[in-house]
Amino acid sequence: MNKPLGVLVGIVVIAGALNTAGAWYTGTKLEGVLQTSIQEANKELASQLQGTPTHGSVELVSLDRHLYSSTAHYRVKVEDDSAGPDAEPVELLFVADIEHGPLPWSRLKTFKWMPVMATTTYALEKTPFTEKWFAAAKDQSPLQGQVTLSYNRSVEGRMEFLPLEVALDENSSLSFSGMTMEGTADADGQNLKGKGYMDHFKLHAVSLNKPPLLVELNGLTVASDLDKSEFGFFLGQNFLGLSESRITFGIRQSLLKVNNFEYTGSTSANGKLLSGRLDYKVGDVSLNNNPVGSAQLVLSASSLDIPAMQAMLQIYQTKFQPKADGALPASELTPAEQVQLQTSLDTLLAGKPQMAVEKLAVKTPHGESEFNLAMALAQPAALDQPPVEITKQLLTSLVAKLQLSKPMIADLAGVQAQLEGQTDPQTLAQVGTMTSDMVGNIAVGTGLAKVEGNNIVASLDYAAGQVDFNGQKMSLEDFITQMTQRFNAPIQ
């Protein structure tokens, strides 16, 4: 044997010996790591599902250990209290083939050389509960994936829902392209990142005495980047996008299309104060291939005291949240709970929270309307004051503006008339004009708005006990009196 070849063989032998030793070490440590991960997962499940009728748990049923690999069986149990006391829990069984580290073959063949503790390939098992799901997936496991566990206990994984074709009955069917999801988590589950994609989903439902219904969803994308806060819940970014949805419905089999729907949510904390922003967008809506319009809604809040909100939420869940059967709790607040609720409310207001409808906009082919509102709150000095004084101290500022387009109202009135079966263009135009004029007359008649050209406009600006309502300045007391008189008087 020549020297270079001998060196190469030596390296391979040494690497194999090290991998064998590492695999043996991994095998001895694996069960403890799995049990710890499952305990933490169950603890996190209980925390995230607290206050809901749903309970879930994960259990390691068995672990068959070998030198280079192991086989594990898991049970996932889900219970829903709202299903009634006689409802059986849902049980899903999974089998997992675990390749021991440090160098699992499945990673080596994809040129991933970083040592890891284990790589697991898992799949849902066939049971009486899941056999129909298997049949829809052509007798393959409909849910499967792979998880890699690093020596620092961080995790990366991929989960796949296989395509499904299901005949629900003689006339109804479901088609699903499948969905893939990928994610990572650090050792303690403090940082979670994930993304997923679904190409299409189609449901065709036909039933007696009802028109056929066809629902199609195309191009679904989800993504999250979250960090666990010191208060036990996750903060960060969430995104959901749907390229196209189509709904065919009704006796006339009308076609409603919505393109480019997006939801973006973000939350953050500065100390114990929470801030958040929600942004909803609908890029394009059409009815029977006729354009309807687009819309956007942006909501935000800031300076929300987290411990105070958690305390109030706990009282709500124990005293006011409906039970699984829909019944309301019969118990009243105890004196201690009343004090806790008032203390939490005072703390929340002391943080000077701010809330806003940053934008509510609707655009149609002939007009665009927009509404926005922002308000700031504070803690009143005392509650044993006249209501007006409490309001002045509670509401430190409020700004609201509305611009309502009469052509937009006419467009939407025409859409409503189409849904009711009207197709004559002249009649649709008359319905739109009459509706927009009626809304304008009501707004002017109540004194809540005025008409400027093709727009119905209104504004309200309040601060320090003074109100500017549609350009008219007055005290808060005068504004309350004026509104009371207007709503008690007949519309002119």
Report yes or no: 146 and 157 within 8 Å, Cβ to Cβ.
Answer: yes
Section 285-307 average pLDDT: 96
Count of beta carbons in the 10 Å neighbourhood of residue 139: 10
pLDDT for residue 103: 66
Digit-coded pLDDT (tens) for 362-392: 999 999 999 999 999 999 998 888 989 999 9
Residue 56 is assigned to a structural domain of this protein: yes
Digit-coded pLDDT (tens) for 385-409: 898 999 999 999 999 999 999 999 9
Distance separating alpha carbons of residues 266 and 268, to the nearest angstrom: 7
Digit-coded pLDDT (tens) for 136-167: 999 999 999 998 888 887 888 899 999 999 98
Q: How is residue 165 written in tokens?
A: 């074709």
Residue 456 is assigned to a structural domain of this protein: yes
Residue 472 is assigned to a structural domain of this protein: yes
- Tally the domains of the chain: 2
Using alpha carbons, list the distances in angstroms from residue 132 to 49, 122, 139, 165: 28, 19, 9, 11
Evaluate if residue 426 carries a pLDDT over 50: yes
Which run of H or of E encompasses 106?
helix 105-108
pLDDT for residue 12: 32
Q: How is residue 174 written in tokens?
A: 């479901």
User: For 108-129, b where at least 16 C-beta lie within 10 A, e where not — what string?
Assistant: eeeeeeebbbbbbebbbbbeee
Distance separating alpha carbons of residues 136 and 142, to the nearest angstrom: 8
Q: Which of 143, 162, 181 is the last residue of a domain?
A: 162
Report yes or no: 436 and 406 within 8 Å, Cβ to Cβ.
Answer: yes
Residue 15 is assigned to a structural domain of this protein: yes
Q: Which of 162, 181, 216 is the last residue of a domain?
A: 162
Report yes or no: 150 and 133 within 8 Å, Cβ to Cβ.
Answer: no
AA identity, residue 119: T
Domain span holding position 35: 8-162
Evaluate if residue 4 carries a pLDDT over 70: no
pLDDT for residue 320: 78
DSSP sequence for 426-464: HHHHHHHHHHHHHHHHHHHHHTS-EEETTEEEEEEEEET
Residue 107 is assigned to a structural domain of this protein: yes
Residue 431 is assigned to a structural domain of this protein: yes
Distance separating alpha carbons of residues 228 and 193, to the nearest angstrom: 12
Which run of H or of E encompasses 100?
strand 90-100
pLDDT for residue 161: 93
Q: Which of 162, 194, 217 is the last residue of a domain?
A: 162
Digit-coded pLDDT (tens) for 78-112: 888 777 777 788 888 999 888 876 766 676 667 67
Residue 28 is assigned to a structural domain of this protein: yes
Torsion angle defined by CA atoms of residues 108, 112, 117 and 122, in that order, rounded to the nearest 10 degrees = -80
Q: How is residue 278 written in tokens?
A: 């929600």
Digit-coded pLDDT (tens) for 103-141: 666 766 676 767 777 888 899 999 999 999 999 999 999
Residue 407 is assigned to a structural domain of this protein: yes
